[in-house]
Amino acid sequence: MPSLANKRITVTGGKGFLGTYLVQNLKEKRNCKNIYIADLPEYDLRNIKDIKKMFDSQIPDIVIHLAAVVGGIGANQGNPGKFFYDNAIMGIQLINEAYLRRIEKIVTLGTICAYPKFTPVPFKEENLWNGYPEETNAPYGLAKKMLLVQSQAYRQQYGFNAICPLLVNLYGPGDNFNPSSSHVIPALIKKCIDAIEKNEHTIEIWGTGKASREFLYVEDAAEGIILAAEKYNKPEPVNIGAGFEITIKDLVNLIVKLTGFKGKIIWNTSKPDGQPRRCLDTSSAEREFGFRAKMSFEDGLKKTIEWYKKHLHLNYIKG
């Protein structure tokens, strides 16, 4: 595919955590001049009228679909219907309208949550259909998985260039630190820093700490998605991750060390661990479009912690 610099590019969810970094990358590293954002409140992508309005006004050559309703285990458990419907309806309508408008390409993000609960580690793309996702986030994972099915079906029947990168959990400066919807890293950072600020001596963590997760720094994620937009044009999903796993217990200990929290960790084992292990095989992304994560995990955590400390005193919560 030719350079993105002269393309008209719409980024759904472009005001969000990942979207902000991706738009910045397009502007500063790819020299893109015609970047458009489709996000709330101007565009509610659950509404087909707003999707049509977006295509009419922005006239994109390429759509990068980042908009999603996401959260940690608690948010998924509390909102399974919303997480399924909102994510499915946004993507289904967007892909169909993009096809009808004959745009050049749509990039629709998938998720590691779509993989079966007991997928062998590291997760390979061919394992995606070998079982049911982990129950606490299955509605979200399956909604995103249906967009892969749609993308492949539209490519097969209509020759439409739709691709689906699969992402792990992201983290970094500007993450969502709202405790009702945040993922594990911002939630842990907030717990530790807030406890230090309030002179509290204990923090509670859900689960046993035995589960493992993989985390990708947000700048690396933005680069991986853009490389896929530039160079990847195949029907198969492709993993974008850091290619390592860490147990939640080790993650907690690392964040405790980096934040300086000296108190006691209380493990609430009545709460679920979620999927037992998560780690992607990222060899396809490196082979197909040269992506490899660059940020070391500890350095990424330090940057994220410093960002939160800076914004804590402004009573800033990104939600």
Could you list the active site residues? Answer: 140
Q: Say how far apart CA 34 and CA 39 lie, in whole Å.
A: 16
Q: Say how far apart CA 191 and CA 261 lie, in whole Å.
A: 9
* Helix H or strand E segment including 266: strand 264-268
DSSP 8-state class, residue 132: P
Q: Say how far apart CA 19 and CA 37 lie, in whole Å.
A: 9
Q: Say how far apart CA 193 and CA 301 lie, in whole Å.
A: 13
Residue pair 229/2 in contact (Cβ under 8 Å)? The answer is no
Strand bridging mode 62-65 / 34-38: unpaired
Neighbours of 278 (CB within 10 A): 23
* Helix H or strand E segment including 170: strand 169-171
Q: Which residues, in sequence order, are CB contacts of 79 under 8 Å at separation 6+?
A: 69, 71
Cβ density class 151-185: b for 16+ within 10 Å, e for less: bbebbeeeebbbbbbbbbbbbbbbbbbebebbbbb
> What SS3 class is residue 302?
helix
- What pairs with residue 11 in β-bridges? 37, 64
Max distance between CA atoms of the chain, in angstroms, equals 61
